[in-house]
Amino acid sequence: MAGTDHTREQAEIDGPAIILVEPQLGQNIGMVARAMLNCALSDLRLVRPRDGWPNTQAVAAASGADIVIERARVFESTADAVADLQTVYAATARPRDMTTDVLTPREAAARLRGGARSGLRAGVLFGKESKGLTNDDVSLADAVLMVPLNPAFTSLNLAQAVLTLGYEWFIAEAGAVDAELAVPKETRPANKAELGGLFEHLEDELEAAGFFHVREKKPIMVRNIRNVLQRARFTEQEIRTFRGIVTALSRARRKDGESG
């Protein structure tokens, strides 16, 4: 649908990062960029794009959404791509072995608007065209994003999925809800890098204590632990406190081992 008007003032470009995990085709990335700029979104992040980056096919398919293509950043892992964010949603069906909130795009957009008003940085994960997101990717998210569609045919392509979320974001400003997390002025919500540091610290100590004694169950156990902690919505100060607790418990365990 034609509709570019260079005489009109550009809408304020803001909003959540759109993170494509292992996108396969340059054309699809370009169409996502076009959908993003339709909704005044410009923070495009790519995790291991299959055909490399930059990509001439992406530029052509973007149909003039050059600002999004030019600003796109490439990351080696999903964890790296979300490290600076405090809120992350995953566009996927909820994994059966995980318990997490499920939001519609409209609900997610209202929360994202409220969070933005409080200075929270956010992003939405979208998986590769053929298989979607892995459970490990979803474990990094605070909630799952699902589009209510005809149950007999729910298939969306990548650009459609991004446009659905982007459109709801674009029209949600008037109805934005306040951020769910009331944070004292002396601290701030933890970002995903800080939360990841806590996960690794705790998992290393659990490993040392023999908690993961059934090796084949470890991946599911790790995801479940991370999912529980994600729901706590830690502040930066709470992360430091929790890590202090883990350190104190591990020291006590080591002392008991030495005395024994």
Residues 125, 91 share a domain: yes
Share of the chain above pLDDT 90, in %: 69
- Residue 242 belongs to domain spanning: 192-259
Residue 11's pLDDT is what? 47
Residue 80: CATH number of its domain = 3.40.1280.10
Residue 5's pLDDT is what? 54
- Checking if the pLDDT of 208 tops 60, the result is yes
Boundary-marking domain end, from 121, 150, 175: 175
Does the pTM surpass 0.85? The reply is: no
Residues 209, 126 share a domain: no
Share of the chain above pLDDT 70, in %: 86
- 41-77 pLDDT, tens digit each: 999 999 999 999 999 999 999 999 999 999 999 999 9
Residues 30, 151 share a domain: yes
Closest CA to 162 of 68, 31, 57, 8: 31
Residue 95's pLDDT is what? 64
Cα Dmax for the chain:
78
Residue 259's pLDDT is what? 62
- Checking if the pLDDT of 92 tops 50, the result is yes
Residues 123, 72 share a domain: yes
Q: Are 162 and 36 in contact (CB under 8 A)?
A: yes
Residues 39, 152 share a domain: yes
Mean pLDDT of the region 29-45 = 97
Residues 115, 62 share a domain: yes
Residues 244, 210 share a domain: yes
Whole-angstrom distance, CA of residue 107 vs CA of residue 89: 11
Mean pLDDT of the region 98-125 = 91
- Checking if the pLDDT of 202 tops 90, the result is yes
Residues 254, 126 share a domain: no
Determine, yes or no, domain membership for 244.
Answer: yes
Residues 80, 208 share a domain: no
Boundary-marking domain end, from 127, 142, 175: 175
Residue 94's pLDDT is what? 65
Determine, yes or no, domain membership for 186.
Answer: no
Give the model's confidence band at 7: pLDDT under 50 very low, under 70 low, under 90 confident, else very high.
Answer: very low
Residues 232, 146 share a domain: no
* Token code pair at residue 66: 């050059």
Domain count, the chain: 2
* Token code pair at residue 232: 């706590």
Residue 179's pLDDT is what? 45
Q: Where are the beta strands (DSSP E) in the chain?
A: 17-21, 44-47, 73-75, 87-91, 101-103, 122-126, 143-145
Residues 60, 23 share a domain: yes
167: number of Cβ within 10 Å? 16
Give the model's confidence band at 150: pLDDT under 50 very low, under 70 low, under 90 confident, else very high.
Answer: very high
- Concatenating the DSSP letter of every residue in 125-187 gives EE-BTTTB--HHHHTT-SEEE-----TT-----HHHHHHHHHHHHHH-GGGPPPPS----TT-
Determine, yes or no, domain membership for 158.
Answer: yes
- Checking if the pLDDT of 133 tops 60, the result is yes
Residues 6+ apart with CB under 8 A from 236: 187, 188, 189, 190, 191, 194
Determine, yes or no, domain membership for 9.
Answer: no
